[in-house]
Amino acid sequence: MKLIVGLGNPGKEYENTRHNIGFIMIDEYANSEKVIFTKSKFKGELTKIIIGNEQVLLLKPTTYMNLSGEAVLAVKQFYDIKTENILIIYDDLDLPAGKIRLKQKGSAGGHKGIKSIISCLNSENFHRLKVGIDRDERIPVVDYVLGRFTKEQWKNIIDATSISLNAIDEWIKNDINYVMNKYN
């Protein structure tokens, strides 16, 4: 069994903000698989799909970004999912808007959602799909990530969506090193 988590903040005021790129991508993936999320007892919205012979859970934590680890840990423990079978989709300020980067493991790099997951899982050994959101040094980071994409950025995000969905499919079926070599 595998777990794919899209990070974001719940609520209308956060829809389509840069920090919610994880929600945007996982919603697109769920739509492509024709499944819908339902509220769960795991501090999030959850759905299950079957890809080949693999059961895959899709999770959108509703804990707000900084407490995302609570939802991830609850699902991981209940379904007894190995840490290396978890893929987290989230925003990255250091990548151009729409650029994706897969990683096998690593530090939080200043991302509070990832910091929460590392803390709750007591491990950095989960996989990541980072989606670039750019950076604007003139705007404080908190304001920038909670802001909406510019038209040009949004175009890049739309272009990156199909690539991201293909990368997610590949991750479900293949070794992370193969997927990183193909998409990075």
Active site residues: 19
How far is the CA of 162 from the CAs of 37, 84, 119, 156, 158, in angstroms? 20, 24, 31, 11, 8
What is the Cα–Cα distance from 129 to 117, expressed in whole angstroms? 14
Amino acid at 75: V
Sorted by sequence, the CB contacts under 8 Å of residue 43 that are 6+ apart come out as 61, 62, 63, 67, 70, 71, 74
What pairing do the DSSP bridges indicate for beta strands 127-132 and 86-92? parallel
What is the Cα–Cα distance from 120 to 113, expressed in whole angstroms? 11
